[in-house]
Amino acid sequence: MHRPSGETPRVEDATDTHFLQAAAHLTPRETVTPLDTDQAMRIFDAQLASRHLDLAARWMQAQGRGYYTIGSAGHEGNAAVAAALRPTDPALLHYRSGAFYLARAAQIAGHDGIRDVLLGVAAAASEPMSHGRHKVFGHPDLAILPQTSTIASHLPRAVGVAFAIERAKKLKVHSPWPTDAIAVCSLGDASANHSTAVGAINAAAHASFQGLPMPLLLVCEDNGIGISVPTPQGWIAATYGDRAGLRYFSADGCDLSETLAVTQDAGAWVRRHRAPAFLHLRTVRLMGHAGSDVEAAYRTPAAIQADLARDPLLATAQLLVDHLVLTAADVVRTYEAKRAEVIAVAAQVLDEKPLVSRAEVVAPLLPGPPERVDRLAIQPPSNEARHKAFGDRLPEDEGPLTLAQSINRALADVLAGYPEAVVFGEDVGHKGGVYGVTRGLAKKAGRARVFDTLLDEQSVLGLALGGAVTGLLPIPEVEYLAYLHNAEDQLRGEAASLAFFSDRQCLNPMVLRVASYGYQKGFGGHFHNDSSVAVLRDIPGIVIASPARPADAAAMLRSCVAAAKTDGRVCVFLEPIARYHTRDLHQDGDNGWLDPYAAPSDWVAAHVPLGRGRTYGQGKDLTIVTFANGLYLSLRAAQRLERDGIHARVLDVRWLAPLPVEDLLREARVTGKVLVVDETRSTGGVSEGVITALVESGFDGEVARVASADSYVPLGDAAELVLVSQDDIERAARTLIRD
CB 574 within 8 A of CB 544: yes
Distance separating alpha carbons of residues 403 and 253, to the nearest angstrom:
56
CA dist., res. 609 & res. 658, Å (int): 11
Residue pair 664/670 in contact by the 8 Å Cβ criterion = no
Q: What is the pLDDT of residues 286-297, one digit of tens each?
A: 998 888 888 889
CB 674 within 8 A of CB 626: no
Q: How confident is the model at residue 12 (pLDDT cuts 50, 70, 90)?
A: confident
Mean pLDDT of 128-138: 94
Q: Is 549 helix (H, G, I), strand (E, B) or coil?
A: coil
Which pLDDT does position 6 carry in this prediction? 60
DSSP 393-410: --GGGS-SB-HHHHHHHH
Report the pLDDT value the prediction gives residue 1, as an integer from 0 to 100: 42
CA dist., res. 303 & res. 80, Å (int)? 26
Q: 507 falls in which pLDDT band (50, 70, 90)?
A: very high
Could you report the per-residue pLDDT of 87-113, keeping only the tens digit for each?
A: 999 999 999 999 999 999 999 999 999
**What is the pLDDT, as a whole number, of residue 3?**
52
Where residue 5 falls among pLDDT bands split at 50, 70, 90?
low
Q: How far apart are CA 571 and CA 513, in angstroms?
A: 9
Tell me which amino acid residue 223 is.
Answer: N
* Mean pLDDT score across all residues of the chain: 94
Say which residues have a Cβ less than 8 Å from residue 727's Cβ, sequence separation at least 6: none
Q: Which residues of 29-59 are buried (b: 16+ CB within 10 A; e: fewer)?
A: eeeeeebeeeebebbbbbbbbbbbbbbbbbb
Least Cα distance to 429 among 446, 453, 450, 411 occurs for: 450
Give how far the C-alpha of residue 389 lies from the chain's centroid of Cα atoms, to the nearest Å: 31
pLDDT at position 393, please? 94
- Bridge-based pairing of strands 277-282 and 216-222 is parallel
Burial of 324-355, coded b for 16+ CB within 10 Å and e otherwise, reads ebbebeebbebbeebbeebbebbbebbebebb
| Alpha-carbon distances of 280 from 57, 231, 252, rounded to whole Å | 28, 14, 8
Find, among 418, 416, 421, 429, the residue nearest to 384 by Cα: 416
Q: Are strands 614-616 and 702-708 parallel, antiparallel or unpaired?
A: unpaired
Range 274-298 average pLDDT = 92
Give Rg (Cα) of the chain: 29
At a CB cut-off of 8 Å and minimum separation 6, what does 422 contact?
167, 171, 448, 449, 450, 451, 467, 472, 473, 474, 475
DSSP-assigned states of every residue in 423-461: EEETTTTTT--TTSTTTTHHHHH-TTTEEE--S-HHHHH
Give the H/E segment covering residue 650: strand 648-652
End-to-end CA distance of the chain: 65
Q: If DSSP codes are grouped into helix, strand and coil, which group holds residue 353?
A: coil
Q: Does pLDDT of 149 surpass 70? A: no
Relative to beta strand 137-139, strand 144-147 is: antiparallel
Euclidean distance between CA atoms 179 and 419, whole angstroms: 18
For 517-626, list the strands marked E by DSSP: 543-545, 570-576, 614-616, 622-626
User: Over pLDDT 70: what percentage of the chain?
Assistant: 99
Residue 62 has pLDDT above 60, yes or no: yes
Helices 550-567 & 403-417 angle (0-180, nearest 10)? 30
Rounded Cα distance, 202 and 454, in Å: 10
Q: What is the DSSP string of 97-134?
A: -HHHHHHHHHHSTT--HHHHHHHHHTTBTT-TTTTTS-
- CA separation for the pair 561, 220 (Å, rounded): 37
**What CA–CA distance (Å, rounded) separates 717 from 31?**
80
Distances (CA, A) of 318 to 69, 257, 324: 28, 12, 10
pLDDT of 388 above 70: yes
With cut-offs at 50, 70 and 90, classify the pLDDT of residue 645: very high
Are 129 and 116 in contact by the 8 Å Cβ rule? The answer is: yes
Q: Kindly report, residue by residue over 28-49, the tens digit of the pLDDT.
A: 998 778 899 999 999 999 999 9
Pick from 237, 161, 250, 232: nearest CA to 203: 161
User: pLDDT tens digits, residue range 414-447?
Assistant: 999 999 999 999 999 999 998 999 999 999 999 9
Beta bridge partners of 246: 243
Interatomic CA distance for residues 231 and 191, integer angstroms: 10
Please give the backbone phi and psi of residue 248, each rounded to the nearest 5 degrees, phi first. Answer: -110, 130
pTM, two decimals, is 0.95
Segment among 70-74, 445-449, 478-482, 517-521 with least mean pLDDT: 517-521
Residues in the chain: 739
pLDDT digits (tens, 9 = 90+) for 569-611: 999 999 999 999 999 999 999 999 999 999 999 999 999 999 9
pLDDT exceeds 80 at position 2: no
CA–CA separation, 653 vs 676, rounded Å?
A: 11
Report the 10 Å Cβ neighbour count for 620.
Answer: 13
Nearest by Cα to 92 from 188, 200, 186: 186
Averaged over 672-688, what is the pLDDT? 95
Domains and CATH numbers, the chain: 35-351 (3.40.50.970), 364-602 (3.40.50.970), 614-738 (3.40.50.920)
